[in-house]
Chains A and B, each alone.
Chain A
Amino acid sequence: KQEVTQIPAALSVPEGENLVLNCSFTDSAIYNLQWFRQDPGKGLTSLLLIQSSQREQTSGRLNASLDKSSGRSTLYIAASQPGDSATYLCAVRRETSGSRLTFGEGTQLTVNP
């Protein structure tokens, strides 16, 4: 059974700091990995999707890396802003599960002005 773990559970940083969120998964047979953002009481916004054959994806100040063999992914946020405050979730899609996603429990990020 696939398990996804995110560390840390919560993170508070001053504005402008660069930061890294970590995600690990137990079964390396994944199709892809996706990072989401969730604001309080809201649905999910997809940030980055990395296919299993890729090493990283970038979008603006966000960079996600994937090391499939070691079961790890990181989300790097450069020059953090208060508007980045949210919960960040990673989710993996197994090769044989079709659309089905397994989520981690998230990292709650607070960026202080």
Chain B
Amino acid sequence: GAVVSQHPSWVICKSGTSVKIECRSLDFQATTMFWYRQFPKQSLMLMATSNEGSKATYEQGVEKDKFLINHASLTLSTLTVTSAHPEDSSFYICSASKPSGRPYEQYFGPGTRLTVT
């Protein structure tokens, strides 16, 4: 199998605070992890791509100082939303790809609902 977990599944934080979301590949080593954001009734928008041990590549328009991504190991990537504001409230989904198996396939986590009050 290829299972990806996220923690927490939902989080509420106050404006101005920071929140960390974890993404783990449970039964495989992920060479690449992806972070997406999804607003209500909209599709997934790729925020950044991260490879283990190297800096993340951010999509145009995504503030890298606000959305800190750390891919410290082959099974864990974290997304930290710094100084969160209500407009950062969204559904954040991560995915991971294996070095083997069907080329380039991504396996998705269950998502994290962030609400900033």
Contact = CB atoms under 8 A, between A and B. Distances in A.
Contacts of A11: none
Interface string B93-117: 1010100001011111111010000
Interface stretch (A60-68, A69-77, A97-105): A97-105
Interface of A: 31-32, 34, 36, 41-46, 49, 89, 93, 98-101, 103-106, 108
B102 A43 contact: no
Given A41-B111, A44-B93, A99-B32, A104 B105 contact: no
B54 interface: no
A96 B109 CA distance: 24
A52 B18 CA distance: 42
A36 B108 CA distance: 10
B111 A43 contact: yes
Ranked nearest first, the 5 interchain pairs of A and B with the lowest CB-CB distance are A43-B110, A44-B108, A105-B43, A99-B104, A99-B97
Q: How large is the interface on B (under 10, 10 to 19, 20 to 34, 35 or more residues)?
A: 20 to 34
Interface in B17-36: 32, 34
A34 B103 CA distance: 13
Nearest to B97: A99
A97 B104 CA distance: 9
Contacts of B108: 36, 43-46
Given A41-B91, A89-B43, A89-B44, A101 B113 contact: no
A93 B95 CA distance: 14
Given A99-B49, A100-B49, 18 more contacts: A31-B104, A32-B104, A36-B108, A41-B91, A41-B111, A43-B111, A44-B44, A45-B108, A46-B105, A46-B108, A89-B43, A99-B32, A99-B34, A99-B104, A99-B106, A103-B44, A103-B45, A106-B43
